[in-house]
Chains A and B, each alone.
Chain A
């Protein structure tokens, strides 16, 4: 087990820089998820830590040792690939044992460990089979077994669940979470799926364009997104955004836009008179309220779409040309064509400077 330190990591392919000055410390036992849209550099970063990709600049250290010039085998890492990357010409048993054979572990010892790991992951019945005879979920379990058996200092997962169907993905996610609970191995997990990130991570590192957009616990990232990008990326359904301008009204800030006005206490936002802001409202913060006449902190409009989700329904309407979504209890959902007013509690509002995209939320006292 080990901590990982990335300091000033750069990665360039020729003239194209994909990662610029990346800094991150990962504590021992920590489960860190690199989250971001495709092309944000998260997989490249993982591969640099694994030793599969050269590090153009900066330093990666694992357990206090600089590993920049070490082969993957000397870094004490094990990796699970998106497409499983099992050895197709070997049996499941040999797939799992392959790494140990290289380490010149004794045959009897290999056998014990393979059977133990296969037992943990429910793979005993398949040990004599070839990878192609297994389902996607089973193959992924073999890939995890192959990583586990080496008792690595660090686990690296590269979008391990994205080739599985939705049901299996949920199941495997839980298995990975359990595995980490029992093994406690330092883990880096790359995904573009925010649900995986939120449920698995001790800490999420949200990346965009090769740089960290925000790093923090799932709660921090959800409740206090640092930038407009983070706010838009995290949370399903997506956060609603409205353009507003700030106006000072004595004790409170008035945020006014096209046909809307919000009153927010001065302690929530750090803003100045006339600042152009983007207001962020999560669909789940909206709740149906009586009528809209002359009231503040209200979003109202003509419902043009109602999506039934089961317990909830996503209601869409337009405010000043912007599509707004509201998540309401399905039992109480309005019908298409109705005009409905939704109240928005001031303490659920987010606001971002329109020029910089940075949140203007004040630090908690």
Chain B
């Protein structure tokens, strides 16, 4: 029987993770989910927790570039990973300000949010989806539905969110 390393069966762990390009560290109970660690331990409250069991998509963040539900990942599981939250979508400009991501611009332009609770999950999911696809191709309605289908919004009825997806896709195509 091989021995089990006691340091890997703790009830509390120190997690080192790069969040929005910045190395961060937090000591968390092993049962803490990533969404709570981002909000409570790292102070990044842009990630919203809606249903806390994977249905609503509000807490979606990128782990090593892929959208995942941060309520369905334990904080200890992202040790060594790169996480991007909604706070990491905007880029610094040359004057020390920030430039919104095309998806954020499109949400503002198309009035794609009302109460805003679900918005961070939509923004992160759509931004990753649009960056992963062939930008020169016209976006199809099927693609748009797939990009918004995993996130719940109780205010807007999705029409303006879908309009924003098409708007952002067009902006990203023209910016090539």
Q: Verify that A and B bind, or say they do not.
A: no
